[in-house]
Amino acid sequence: MKKMTDKKNWKRKVGVHLLACTLFVGSIGIPGSAAFAEGPSDPAPVLQPVGAANGKKVLFDNTHGQTAGAADWVIDGAFSDYAQALANQGYYVKELRKTAPITLSDLTGYDVFIIGEANIPYKTSEQAALLQYAQNGGSIFFIADHYNADRNKNRWDSSEVFNGYRRGAWSNPAQGMGTEEAGSAAMQDVVSSDWLGTNFGVRFRYNAIGDVTANNIVAPSQAFGITQGVSTVAMHAGSTLAIMDPQKAKGIVYLPATSTKWSSAVDQGVYEGGGVNEGPYVAVSKVGLGKAAFIGDSSPVEDATPKYKREETGASKTTYAGFTEQNDGTLLVNIANWLSVQESYTSLGAVSGLTLDQPTSLLAMENPATSTEPQAEPWAAPAAGYKWWDRCTFKTGSYGAGSCFTNSAPTVANPITDRTFMQGSSAIIIDAASTFSDANGDALTLSAASSNSGVATVSVSGKQLTVTPIGVGTASITVTANDGNGGTVNDVFTVTVSSSTSVTSLSEYFESGTKGAYAAANVTLSSGSWMFNNALIGNLSTDKKSGTQSARINAAGYIQMNFDVAAAQAIKLSVANFNNDSGTTWKLQKSTNAGTTWTDVTAAVAATSVLTEQTIAVNEAGPVRFKIVVAGTSGKRINVDDFAVLN
């Protein structure tokens, strides 16, 4: 194949195929100028079915370094022969291009997803999307290459990306990377795992075999018909696979016995002398309702019509007419045809008459967790200024050049206020949805940590924090917003937990008094007169209460004391969402001038579905009265019960 830089000398005559190219460009399903788009934000190229449509759709990945280095694995570039052959079979063919991670919705609606040499590792969220897509009935074709075919010099080659772990870097997928590189968006949510082997029953071996013609072809009757018309398949520096679970995976094309390794192999290159023991060159798998196929070299798939320049240097690329060599094209179309047919069996053992493979014997050095790098990576230093994770550094004419942007880190828009608790108080929920802002509109992921878990702990669910007081003292809570593009910002607030040696000096359980409407009015309760504005006394089964009644407050509304207490060390109350309502917040206010002005004791706090007791430090030594204010979604309500003043 056209291996990395000029490390591979593979010479042969290449036909120009002008007619085929003309047919391809003419069938692009977007205007001519858009067909030559240069970045992920431009319209993706499309091939419409030629002749009668078969109703099937194929999507080619171009989100994970498919055009890095010498690669040009796009449907209007060096994968155009394959794409056109599928269109000639009646398939609708499109390229996936985007900057955000792959999601299940990107793949839904397509019968086959073809991934040519992914050189940027998949995030765990993307792995989950790919697996769910297959389990739901979609099919994936993984096209890999030999070990160390690292196109963008990020230390990851396609075999490692597909497998889910980097050789010799199990404990740290970013091993050897600088701070900027490791902190880049591309390296976030990347976690080592034996993902392919565990879920698809195969694993790409990290061997590197040279120029070999595979002629050990499994009979069509034992290969789901995929090898019909296939006698030989070319390999020009590639790898094989290991069958990990014969109930899931089966080899269909094998190499002959060989000792021919790639001339730049960093280890022995050939692991088991070729043949069946080396593992299949081409394999298939059944995953849930879907399927998968695998090949250890991109050479059979490529053609001689690269579209883009090299992103690292701007130099022209040289690719080769592999699709028309041997029976490569026949095999590849047969693979797509098999993948596109959904079948309900979920295990190869359920296929009548099918002989299952034996698991491939592996070398000790192939253990994912204990593997080592045979040589330092990357295999060569990147060109000056080139950063594989930053399209701003890509050279003119390469895919993505000129489509970069400068990321702005998120900022703190509304800092979270400090919190005070009495010892023994229940946890509170803080809504941090408006705490941070991001100029780029990035979706922010929140995390949080406490400086002293003996005083208070914190957990995060989406944009909500749960703070739980533990013991007397002070703790700093640091909340971090991450934009997924390398930008982060912290907001820090203080939690103080005081000793609970106080006694109750006033209680209000809302069991006396009557108010059945939301209109503003004073209500005489056991503790004294209270103003209820857009609030009432609730006694329905859907009111959350510890007795027979509780206060029900509508957004926006409040209840407040019309009288002072002599002093208040803390306030204790219980709060919950009314019925199944949500979208409201509440806060406690106090007045030390007989209700003329009010100040916040707490920030806005989200209620939960269960009546939850809160103890709030106030520390007022003189006369004071209190108000509970509800805001949020109009018409949504909360219940308040068991109000007490502690001294």
Confidence at 472, pLDDT banded by 50, 70, 90: confident
Interatomic CA distance for residues 434 and 412, integer angstroms = 9
Tokens standing for 480? Answer: 């971090």
In this prediction, residues 513-517 reach a mean pLDDT of: 94
- In whole numbers, what is the pLDDT of the chain averaged over residues? 92
Which pLDDT belongs to residue 441?
Answer: 86
Averaged pLDDT, 203-214: 98
Q: How much is the pLDDT for 318? A: 96
251-310 tens-digit pLDDT: 999 999 999 999 999 999 999 999 999 999 999 999 999 999 999 999 999 999 999 999
Q: What is the pLDDT of residues 172-189, one digit of tens each?
A: 999 999 999 999 999 999
Confidence band, pLDDT 50/70/90 cuts, at residue 153: very high
User: What residue spans in the chain does CATH classification 2.60.40.1080 cover?
Assistant: 411-498
pLDDT in tens, 401-412: 987 767 789 999
Q: How confident is the model at residue 69 (pLDDT cuts 50, 70, 90)?
A: very high
Say if domain 18-370 classifies as CATH 3.40.50.880. yes
Which CB contacts under 8 angstroms, 24+ apart, belong to 267-270?
267/147, 267/206, 267/207, 267/208, 267/365, 267/374, 269/207, 269/208, 269/209, 269/210, 270/207, 270/209
Give the predicted TM-score (pTM) of the model: 0.66
pLDDT for the residue 37? 42
Whole-Å CA distances, 542 to 24, 131, 611: 65, 42, 12
In angstroms, the CA 92 to CA 112 distance is: 11
* Fold annotation for 411-498: Immunoglobulin-like (2.60.40)
Q: What is the pLDDT, as a whole number, of residue 542?
A: 97
Whether the per-residue pLDDT at 619 is higher than 90: the answer is no
pLDDT of 438 higher than 50: yes
**Start-end of CATH 3.40.50.880 domains in the chain:** 18-370
Domain 504-646 class?
Answer: mainly beta
Above 60 in pLDDT, residue 415? yes
What distance in Å separates the CA atoms of residue 295 and residue 284, rounded to the nearest whole number? 9
Give the residue-averaged pLDDT of 568-575: 92
423 — pLDDT class (breaks 50, 70, 90): confident
Q: Greater confidence, 372 or 37?
A: 372
Average pLDDT over residues 139-160: 97
Average pLDDT for 482-510? 88
Q: Compute the C-alpha angle 123/100/312, nearest 5°.
A: 85
Is 397 a residue whose pLDDT tops 90?
A: yes
CATH code 2.60.120.260 region(s) in the chain: 504-646
Q: Does 503 or 339 have the greater pLDDT score?
A: 339
pLDDT at residue 106 above 70?
yes
Higher pLDDT, 367 or 614: 367
Summarised one tens digit per residue, pLDDT across range 292-304 is 999 999 999 999 9
pLDDT of residue 15 exceeding 50: no
Element (H or E) spanning 641, and its range?
strand 637-646
Pairing state between β 92-96 and 249-254: unpaired
- pLDDT at position 435: 96
Identify the residue whose tokens are 């707490």. 602
Report pLDDT digits (tens) over 579-612. Answer: 999 999 999 999 999 999 999 999 888 999 999 8
Q: Is the pLDDT of residue 504 over 90?
A: no
Does residue 398 contact residue 383 with C-beta atoms inside 8 Å?
Answer: no
**Helix, coil or strand: residue 33:** helix
Percentage of the chain exceeding pLDDT 90: 83
Cα separation, 115 vs 637, whole angstroms:
51
Mean pLDDT to the nearest integer, 164-171: 97
Which of these, 448, 468, 431, lies nearest to 607 by C-alpha position? 431
> Average pLDDT of 559-588?
95
